[in-house]
Structure 1
Amino acid sequence: MLYGKMLYALIDKDAEGRAQIEYKPAKQIHWDGSNAHVIAQPKSDLDIEVKVDACLELIDYLKSEKPPSGVVLNKTKISLSPTKEYRLGHEFERTKEILGKGNSAGDIVVVKDKKTGQEHAYKTMMISYFRKEEVKCWVDMSDSGCVPALYLFKIENNKVSIHMEILKNAKTLRSIIDEHMAGFYENAENRSLVKPFSLYVLDGALEAVTQLHNKGWVHHDLHGGNVMVQKTGEEKLGVKVLDFGLARKLEDYNGLNYRGFHADIGEIVRLFSALYTGGLEFDNVLDLRKNWKDKLTEVTEMMKMNVDDRKELFCLVDAALKVVHPNQVEEYRQQVKTELGKAMGQSEKEIMRKVVAILFPEDFQPIHQDIEDSADAMGDFDVADSIFLSNHHDYMDHQGDNHDLDLEWTANQVTDEYLEMVRMTLGIDLH
């Protein structure tokens, strides 16, 4: 809620006939930004005049310009009514699944289109919190492959609602840093995956940010909860960027938005350092820029990181912080790709299989179990099925009662086709 003073203007002419405007303060009034696009209840004669004029202006605009109340961007996911409406409880229904919370928004929930049966994510926010840049940036990025698809946005009473793609088999970098990095430090073999995985994510994040900047935008909010790693195949991980609520133009009437650009690059480096070191995450971009040498020195010494890895980490962070213009990003990314190629060597598939197995261990048993159940339902199956199910039972025997992950065995179950599907989805070429 905002409290302020209403100003009214007196318009007069000077001796030469030029307009003069004098602003006079009126009495203090209460203004609640959430009252946008709702029925007003004026509290004074002056307030009545202001509200009536504003409402009539809106009606005139609707009559003359005929703007739509929403836009469908994917007709295969959204089925409008004959009257071009899309309403909760009519054209789509809410499920019990909740995906999370957005900035200044309520729960992000899963809903289902009643006609197509397609499920998608649904969030709403007050019009007073909505920024048009969110949708403009999202639409511009729709063909980049780095963002979830936007299906529909529309006005609902005093709110804006957004229907979007559900990213399946995906985890935020926040959850990976907080919950899954420990799996990389269980033994020496797993620990050897940290560097290639960190560089892989850094390369994917740079690709997403490059696409964003090429479209003329800065994200301005690339924290760990707004960057996701999606399993798109058995040896492939895709990097997706979410939530464009704070997006701004890369260039405006003031020129290049250096603050937003530097924030995007800095946030990516913060996430990269947290992955590479297994947990060191700078407080913010300012902390990174001021204290990166001291903090990285301390944590790498404590970890007993070898000299080559420490040198690589310091060089990559230092080089990133020297990127001051969008036309320098590609050169930096080539540096990252060079280090990534060295880290992967000739074992890219094997490395990525193991990384996928650590991050998504829950996907292997259910997939195998579904196939076994389907085979049982069919009554008979061929020799290949028998061999596969035999391997599945071997997997269960490997797991034992405590279900600890046998990384080597699990990684061997990841097929070349699965890895190729992931690679094609992310679009990162390591060769």
Structure 2
Amino acid sequence: MENLQKEPSGSPTNAQAALKKNTRVIAFWFFALVAGGFLGWLQIGWLNELFGFIATVFTRLFKFVAVPVIALAVITTLSQLGAKRETKQIFAHAIFYTLATTFAAALVALGLFILIAPENVPAAISAAGSAAVPKNLQSLSYYDHFLSVVPDNVLHPFLEGNVLSVLVIAVAVGLALAFMPRTEGRDSLLRVIFGLQELLFTLIRALLFILPVGILAFAGQLSSQIEAGVIVGSLGKYVAVVVTGNLLQFFVVLPHFLLARRINPLRVLKGMFPALAVALFSKSSAGTLPVTLASAEQNLRLDRRVTRFVLPICTTINMNGCAAFILVTSLYLMQNAGIAITGGTMAVWVVVAVIAAIGNAGVPMGCYFLTLSLMSSLNVPVDLMGVILPVYAIIDMIETAVNVASDSCVATMTDHDLKGKLPPAESDAPDAPVPQAA
């Protein structure tokens, strides 16, 4: 495996050509966003149906590659790094920055909750939302959620798309390969695994090539929904707290983390733009992982040993936007249920929100379902979740983009801290080529 930080950048002419190409691609993506939004706003029936079809196709394709990407990235990385010191270094930095950014997101949201102080929703409105609450989730407990992470067979987590269970399996297999004796059977197995990864990244390159069509459809679909009144109304101050908290995390908190490590936030934002755009519309950080990996490795030139270890893990545990949503929504539901919200209660729930976010799966509406299960397990009335549901589509988009931005920042800061400190990479199997992000 090559250390991308040490790759030559090429001649100035090549660097300028690459910069111009990247700028053109980003401009094309912006054009697709604007054009899709405008076409969706026109409310052309057959065109909106086409946008819906294309958006569904791309969502399914992302789900198709997301779970194998997580499994193969973790397995191949751990199989080479094993229990070596660099693995511990990478993991320690990733966990530190994950906890730091997630706690920061929760604290920012708490500050806004105290400052804006959303009032209780009238009982009639809250009761009216009971019909919209997914009834099959009210019986779930938080204990059941964590128990579901433990796989009971190999295939079930992959078929169900259970990201956390897949991560557990991948870590176990990767570590087992790392500690196995270097036999011919182990080498043959690794060659197959790396071959599968190469095949998957070839599919990802093809998907990224046609992705502007998907962005056009996603933007058109969202615009038509807003214009048609599907996504309307809000709970006012509550929505303001959640959305503002996420925006502050994206535009203020995360850039300051990067600046503290002397990293240019604009460079990171520009390099990760493809992944952020996909996250915004797909509403799945796990589904966005292929583009996140490609953007980090190709645009930011991060060490693959860092990206392929940190990003799959961060996709499942680094949930800044989710922590803010869980904290604010839990406090809001408890407040509406008549539970006194004291300083001690807030402090406890900051910790609970961070832990819950770490245990959340990076899938659409994951935070919503997790908060619903958490409140149900505490016997807090969840009728208000039905009132929140119509506006959660917008919240989910924003918080997913924040999650992916945070993943990117954690990987970038880890790579920055360990630059020059990791030993030359060993290779017991060929690396899969880096998919082109932009």
TM-score, normalised with respect to structure 1: 0.26
Task: Report which of the two has the higher share of strand.
Answer: 1
Instruction: Kindly name which structure, 1 or 2, has the bigger radius of gyration based on alpha carbons.
Output: 1
TM-score, normalised with respect to structure 2: 0.25
Task: Report which of the two has the higher share of helix.
Answer: 2
Larger RCO: 1 or 2 (CA < 8 Å, sep 6+) = 2
